[in-house]
Chains A and B, each alone.
Chain A
Amino acid sequence: MTELIEITIDGRKVAVEKGTKILSAAKELGIEIPTLCHHEALPPDGNCRLCQVEVVERGKRKLAVSCMYPVRGPMEVFTNTERVMDARRSVIRLHLNRCPQATILQDLAREYGVEPLDERFVAEHDDLCIRCGRCVRACAALGNNCLGFAGRGWDRTIIPPFDEPPVGCLGCAACAEVCPTGAIKVREEGNIREIWGREFRLVRCTSCGEYFATKEQLEKVDSCGVEVSEICPHCRKRDEAKRMKIS
């Protein structure tokens, strides 16, 4: 059996398995910590630095990124001290400097009382990407690893390899789905979905007739040895619910 460790978050006690990340421990207590790059279904990456909290462990007090910081022993965590708020404010300000148009950042800035940037530093560009890498992780988990970071420093971008339309892309749009700022553009018109400079043909649900997935997506599912049903998730849920009712 895994070891249980009792930790204190904002004065409340919770026992969690060793190795649990602070963010999940806080969630168990219903304490909310803001995040941008974190996604429940994806491995944490600690990119956005927004989820910082203050940790007191073995007599040391420090800031830690809660989505990555594992509980290894008794510790006390504070999620809303002045130091934490300061750290978050500066993170938000930095992100906002890069992506002044992102509504999620504008909302955060309002919530945390981040002073608007000096006009001289507001970049005139419509970059919405905060380089959190959610799309990269989503593509690694669900797609064909078609996205990656390129370059470094300020010039770091997220693009398909060689900056060409990605050959292995399934058109599943998972990257766009998980993007916190809506930086990845998907265009859907009739039975065509366009993403990353490629066009994909959409397949209709055999039950309700709605377009729901690309041909490539279904082929990938097929290649995984799972039986392919050309029924959209919505109809599948409904059918499943009906079946349960009957039995």
Chain B
Amino acid sequence: MLAILQDIQEKEHYISVDVMRSVACYLDVPESRVYSVATFYKALSLVPLGKNVIKMCNGTACHIRGSPEVMKAFEKELGIKNGETTEDGMFTLQTVNCLGACALAPVVTVNGRVFGKVRVKDVPCIIQEVREDETE
């Protein structure tokens, strides 16, 4: 079930109620079961996410190396808070607990692409880069 939900998450950027109903029907399991799984995992979102998901690592190493400041810079740049999505549906900002690349702390990933040793002044460049990729 998790594999199916992950695939849907990747394609649709979120898991809708209709989707959960279909999954339950397809797997012949109760809807309550699918709902439990979908709400349990942080990797699955029940609300639509933006096209580009920015994950700011807030693990111990990243935290010490200044991830809260970088996070603030992202929030300011995009005009949204942690966990929110921009109005144009372009960006979603999230914090995660560890991306497993502490040597590159503080780490940010955008759609799985890793940016290491991010400093506050790099933030506008990262967003610019993603925007440019989008227009290409």
Contact indicator B32/A147 (Cβ below 8 Å): yes
Contact indicator B33/A148 (Cβ below 8 Å): yes
Contact indicator A145/B30 (Cβ below 8 Å): yes
Determine the distance from Cα of A140 to Cα of B36 in the docked complex, in whole angstroms.
14
Question: Given that A161-B20, A162-B20 are known contacts, is A150 also in contact with B30, CB under 8 Å in the complex?
Answer: no
Considering the complex, which residues of chain A in the window 138-155 have a beta carbon less than 8 Å from any beta carbon of chain B? 139-140, 144-152
Q: Report B-chain residues with C-beta under 8 Å of the C-beta of A147.
A: 32
Considering the complex, which residues of chain A in the window 111-140 have a beta carbon less than 8 Å from any beta carbon of chain B? 136, 139-140
Tell me whether B71 is interfacial, beta carbon within 8 Å. Answer: no
Q: Report A-chain residues with C-beta under 8 Å of the C-beta of B32.
A: 136, 139, 145-148, 160-161
Scoring A136, A144, A150 by chain B CB atoms within 10 A of each residue's CB, the highest score goes to A150
Contact indicator A151/B31 (Cβ below 8 Å): no
Please tell me which one of the listed residues B30, B33, B35, B40 contacts residue A162 in the complex, with CB atoms under 8 A apart. B35
Smallest CB separation, B33 vs chain A (Å): 6
Determine the distance from Cα of A150 to Cα of B17 in the docked complex, in whole angstroms.
14
Determine the distance from Cα of A136 to Cα of B35 in the docked complex, in whole angstroms.
13
Smallest CB separation, B35 vs chain A (Å): 4
Determine the distance from Cα of A139 to Cα of B32 in the docked complex, in whole angstroms.
11
Tell me whether B39 is interfacial, beta carbon within 8 Å. Answer: yes
Smallest CB separation, B34 vs chain A (Å): 7
Smallest CB separation, B96 vs chain A (Å): 15
Smallest CB separation, B133 vs chain A (Å): 34
- Chain A's closest residue to B32 (CB) is A148
Determine the distance from Cα of A148 to Cα of B32 in the docked complex, in whole angstroms.
5
Determine the distance from Cα of A139 to Cα of B31 in the docked complex, in whole angstroms.
13
As a 0/1 sequence over residues 15 to 33 of chain B, the CB contacts with chain A under 8 angstroms (1 = contact) are: 0010010000000001111
Smallest CB separation, B40 vs chain A (Å): 5
Smallest CB separation, B24 vs chain A (Å): 8
Please tell me which one of the listed residues A139, A144, A150 contacts residue B35 in the complex, with CB atoms under 8 A apart. A150
Considering the complex, which residues of chain B in the window 18-67 have a beta carbon less than 8 Å from any beta carbon of chain A? 20, 30-36, 39-40
Please tell me which one of the listed residues A149, A152, A162 contacts residue B31 in the complex, with CB atoms under 8 A apart. A162
Determine the distance from Cα of A226 to Cα of B33 in the docked complex, in whole angstroms.
28
Smallest CB separation, A43 vs chain B (Å): 16
Determine the distance from Cα of A140 to Cα of B30 in the docked complex, in whole angstroms.
9
Contact indicator A161/B40 (Cβ below 8 Å): no
Determine the distance from Cα of A85 to Cα of B20 in the docked complex, in whole angstroms.
44
As a 0/1 sequence over residues 150 to 173 of chain A, the CB contacts with chain B under 8 angstroms (1 = contact) are: 111000000011100000000000
List 15 additional contacts besides A148-B32, A148-B33, A148-B36; criterion CB under 8 Å.
A139-B32, A140-B30, A144-B30, A145-B31, A145-B33, A146-B30, A147-B32, A148-B30, A150-B39, A152-B40, A160-B32, A161-B20, A162-B17, A162-B20, A162-B35
Interface positions of A (Cβ within 8 A of B): 136, 139-140, 144-152, 160-162
Interface positions of B (Cβ within 8 A of A): 17, 20, 30-36, 39-40
Minimum-distance CB pairs A-B, first 4: A148-B32, A145-B30, A161-B31, A161-B35
Q: What are 27 A-B pairs with beta-carbon distances under 8 A?
A: A136-B32, A140-B30, A144-B30, A145-B30, A145-B32, A145-B33, A146-B30, A146-B32, A148-B30, A148-B32, A148-B33, A148-B35, A149-B36, A149-B40, A150-B36, A150-B39, A150-B40, A151-B39, A152-B39, A160-B32, A161-B20, A161-B31, A161-B34, A161-B35, A162-B17, A162-B20, A162-B31
